[in-house]
Amino acid sequence: MPRGGIVAGMSEDAPDSAPPDAANLRAAAIAYLARYSATRATLARMLNRRIDRWLREAAGPGAAAQAATAKRAVQAVVAQLADAGAVNDAAFAEARARKLVRTGHSRRAAAAHLAARGVPAEVVRTALPQDEAGELAAAIAHMRRRRLGPFRADAAAPHARQKDLASLARAGFTGPTARRALALPQEEAETLLLQRRQQE
């Protein structure tokens, strides 16, 4: 059996030769969710791409009408899976936000990432509460990953601070957060990061 228990012909990458209908769209969606975490929007996009691929390869005068009917069924299939708990935008947003912040992404960058995956704005706000300590920890994680500020081998190099401020700004951190993070000695920065991770 293919990886993730996917029925042959039902993966996203290999469209079924049968005309798409609610039943095989649901099977394709379940197979996709067995491999990937997804939002309602990304699941709908995947199903619509599947229908588009089928239509490009289909022959026969009724193919366009069948594809249009299948596209109308996509939202119902996604809604059924959401009602069953198989796809959950809030759970996706919480888990992804935690991972992004832990790996050094600012709240602004994490919000943009979630929005690009179709997470509604109110769900994004809930997943990314205003948390200054968390934002500072994310800035520290960003600095450590990029070897900036207290993690620089050449912290005294000319223009190092300006370059580091610019990097933090590009990553979406505010000026006050960036300056506070850069002012920390390495040992204190490491301790703050460790304390934050122990609280998660």
In this predicted model, what pLDDT tens digit does every residue of 79-138 receive, in sequence order? 999 999 999 999 999 999 999 999 999 999 999 999 999 999 999 999 998 889 999 999
Of 36, 62, 83, the one marking the end of a domain is: 83
Coil vs helix vs strand at 138: helix
pTM above 0.75, yes or no: yes
Number of domains in the chain: 2
Q: Looking at the structure, do residues 189 and 112 belong to the same domain, yes or no? A: yes
- Cβ–Cβ contacts within 10 Å for residue 34, how many? 13
Alpha-carbon distance of 32 to 26, in angstroms, equals: 10
Q: Looking at the structure, do residues 74 and 97 belong to the same domain, yes or no? A: no
Residues 6+ apart with CB under 8 A from 48: 71, 74
Q: Looking at the structure, do residues 107 and 189 belong to the same domain, yes or no? A: yes
- Range of the structural domain that residue 8 is part of: 3-83
- Chain centroid to CA 183: how far? 31
C-alpha triplet 113, 119, 121: angle, nearest 5°: 95
Alpha-carbon distance of 93 to 113, in angstroms, equals: 10
Q: Looking at the structure, do residues 128 and 144 belong to the same domain, yes or no? A: yes
Give 130-177 pLDDT, tens digit per residue: 889 999 999 999 999 999 999 998 867 778 999 999 999 999 999 999
